[in-house]
Amino acid sequence: MDRTSRRSRGGGGLQFGGLRIAPLLFADDVVLMASSVCDLQHSLDRFAAECEAAGMRISTSKSEAMVPSRKPMDCPLQVGNEALPQVKEFKYLGVLFSSEGTVEREMGRRIGAAGAVLQSLYRTVVTKRELSQKAKISVYWAIFVPTLTYVDIREIRELRLGKGSRDFERYPEEARKLDAAHCFIVLYGLEFRLRTLSVAAFSEEEVNMWITGLNWLMMDTQRAPAPQQIDRWLRKQFEAMDRSHEGSITVKDVKVLLPQINYRVPNTRFLKDKLQEVEARNDLSYPNFSQLYRTLMFDAQKSIIEQLELSFPLRNVDRPELCQISLYDFQKFLQMDQKESWASDLCRVREFLTGYMRGRSQPEPMLQLDDFLTFLFSKENSVCDPQLSPVIADDMKRPLSQYWISSSHNTYLTGDQFSSESSLEAYARCLRMGCRCIELDCWDGPDDLPIIYHGHTLTSKIKFLDVLHTIKEHAFVTSEYPVVLSIEDHCSVVQQRNMATHFKKVFGDLLLTKPVDNNAEELPSPYQLRRKILIKHKKLVEGTLYEEVSSASYSENDISNSLKNGILYLEDPIDHTWTPHYFVLTSNKIYYSEETSHYQTTDEEDDDEAKEECNNNEQHCAERWFHGKLGGGRDGRQVAEKLLQEYCEGGAKDGTFLVRESETFVGDYTLSFWSVTLK
């Protein structure tokens, strides 16, 4: 069979740019490809002849023809006198290929399978208290991460060349063997903090093919009309619930899904009635599920239908799947209700509607009622004109002060201001998303160079120099207009001078160090400042040489301006468990974070935490408010109350406190404070 396949392979295939994609040959599964029906028939005849010469024949009952096109096209192929059936999708080596050229159904199936694995692991691993944190982390890297490598095309936000990801850093020995030109990173997710899929190819040419193909899929997905996007989303939800891959889901699955999409079912009877409307009982096929979704959405929008009937008559309003809006009625709606001037041209309306309903073969484009309701809330009916969104160079020649600037506050943070991670990736993301003003919160660090973090909090620290190199790498990838660095400076003069030196050294000619025009009477324009980095910073007071100078102007809610901060425990009023929270005390308010986990993800962090705890104990011993062990349970509390009472009777202020070692949580502490106003 291999010899037959190789001999017939000669002239077939497709041209893709400068490359030829040859037929797919695997054992007795063969996919022949060509750019025309005539060429495909020629390849098929040649393959059939090679098979006959080897004493074999093509099985017409298992062979199919498919045209990758969104528009219906005939592909009459024959093997001898037998015609091959034409299909809209087929499976090859377990992968589903669609005539529309999309991969959503296959991705949905795989994501559903991955979801089932993750649910099983969550029940058997994550929630098990018997397993140590290290064991859970080992399972995470061994099973969770490989399971999650199926990426939804709709969630891809960025493609980057090179090895700049934690995946490569995690395996340094293997990464050193790879050429950076042969690697790329897929950044995906629905939150600001994206996940990464790091890929190593065999050649630079292969990387370019991947990038080209993924960019096309991303663009196609983003430009897909609203009905198609909804269908893809519904298929993804359906496949995720169809864990047995039998093509059906249960009513129980639907009940679990509805609250997740913010749909509240009034009562059980209501859902049963809706299931009867879509002719489903215990199990739902995808058509049943899709129709149920449309029925529920239709019920929530009935008031709009009443307004719609004032514009043109509708039939079968109670059966939205049978109610249709013709091309002419749709044109009338655009002209009379929405005042769209372009809708006077029927050809343009027909072209628009054909694109909006792409994938459906209709002699004359028309809308079903639920499609029309979808259109009203879709991006295609946006109040903003997309043609006015791109920046026009001729409009960027006014003084810089006349523009709104896309800015980022606390750029370095990936989460809250209490204990989240400070990250170089946050700078890269903001710059690539188009931000032109970013913040650097600088504090004195080791080696006479600053560190960047949210001061007086548990946020992690990153190096000033690493941030500068990240800014230089990503500053002008998305936009050539100037980047403003807003420096919130808490550093000594010595470190400020070092900052200035490294600004010049790292940025070089990109850094604006002198006026664009000495004779100008107003600020330069964004056009004049293209590919320039500007620094926004208060000047030192003249004559200042040694004292620390802060350029920060604190807002009332800036928690870095704190009097006290640290971990305190709160008792849950329901199950009476104690959970740690990060507290910050300012001059007039107290803030605290969501639950703070004591678990660390690496041995190094465990060691750091142990060292910090040891140092903290030594500091506590020197404080007069620290009383060590005062006894266990009620005895310790009574002793603490007595000490506070005796101390406060001497005229101490309301709010006086003491700290003692906790008997309940060994290694932690209990805070007791005196208040005559708190009841």
- pLDDT computed for residue 352 by the predictor: 92
Mean pLDDT of the chain: 80
Task: Judge if pTM exceeds 0.85.
Answer: no
- pLDDT computed for residue 611 by the predictor: 39
pLDDT at 570 over 70: yes
Question: CB burial class (10 A; 0-12, 13-18, 19+) of residue 208?
Answer: middle
pLDDT at 156 over 80: yes
pLDDT at 320 over 80: no
- pLDDT computed for residue 147 by the predictor: 54
480-503 pLDDT per residue, tens: 999 999 999 999 889 999 999 999
- pLDDT computed for residue 426 by the predictor: 94
pLDDT at 605 over 60: no
CATH of domain 104-226: 2.30.29.30
- pLDDT computed for residue 52 by the predictor: 83
| Mean local confidence (pLDDT), 345-369 | 86
C-alpha span between 97 and 31 (Å, rounded): 11
pLDDT at 359 over 60: yes
- pLDDT computed for residue 619 by the predictor: 47
Question: CATH 2.30.29.30 spans which residues of the chain?
Answer: 104-226
- Adjacency order of strands within the sheet including 590-595: 564-571, 578-585, 590-595
| Mean local confidence (pLDDT), 461-477 | 96
Contact 570, 581 (CB under 8 A): yes
- pLDDT computed for residue 609 by the predictor: 39
| Mean local confidence (pLDDT), 267-281 | 81
395-425 pLDDT per residue, tens: 899 999 999 999 999 999 988 787 788 999 9
Handedness of CA 136, 137, 141, 144 (dihedral sign): positive
- pLDDT computed for residue 2 by the predictor: 54
Read off the pLDDT band of 118 (50, 70, 90).
low
Q: Partners of 503 in the beta sheet?
A: none
C-alpha span between 457 and 450 (Å, rounded): 16
Handedness of CA 66, 68, 74, 80 (dihedral sign): negative
Query: Which has more pLDDT, 633 or 437?
Result: 437
Contact 578, 556 (CB under 8 A): no
| Mean local confidence (pLDDT), 53-66 | 83
Q: Per the structure block, which two tokens stand in for 644? A: 């506070």
pLDDT at 183 over 90: yes
Read off the pLDDT band of 604 (50, 70, 90).
very low
517-560 pLDDT per residue, tens: 999 999 999 999 999 999 999 877 665 554 444 444 445 556 66
Read off the pLDDT band of 146 (50, 70, 90).
low
CATH of domain 393-536: 3.20.20.190
Question: CATH 3.30.505 spans which residues of the chain?
Answer: 564-673
Read off the pLDDT band of 583 (50, 70, 90).
confident
Lowest mean pLDDT among 7-16, 128-137, 482-491, 587-596: 7-16
pLDDT at 617 over 50: no
Question: Of 531, 490, 527, whose CA–CA distance to 510 is shortest?
Answer: 531
**CA-based R_g, the chain, Å:** 33
The residues annotated as belonging to the active site are 409, 454
Cα-flanking dihedrals φ and ψ of residue 79, to 5°? -115, 105
- pLDDT computed for residue 373 by the predictor: 87
Query: At 156, is the secondary structure helix, strand, or coil?
Result: strand
Question: Of 244, 238, 133, 282, whose CA–CA distance to 605 is shortest?
Answer: 133
Read off the pLDDT band of 345 (50, 70, 90).
very high
Cα-flanking dihedrals φ and ψ of residue 268, to 5°? -65, -35
C-alpha span between 308 and 318 (Å, rounded): 14
- pLDDT computed for residue 496 by the predictor: 93
Query: Which has more pLDDT, 605 or 526?
Result: 526
- pLDDT computed for residue 630 by the predictor: 76
Q: Per the structure block, which two tokens stand in for 72? A: 């219906």
pLDDT at 441 over 90: yes
% of the chain with per-residue pLDDT over 90: 24
- pLDDT computed for residue 600 by the predictor: 36
Residue with tokens 């700078």: 427
Read off the pLDDT band of 442 (50, 70, 90).
very high
CATH of 564-673, one of 3.30.505, 3.40.50, 3.40.720, 2.70.98: 3.30.505
Read off the pLDDT band of 10 (50, 70, 90).
low
% of the chain with per-residue pLDDT over 70: 78
290-312 pLDDT per residue, tens: 988 888 887 777 777 777 777 66
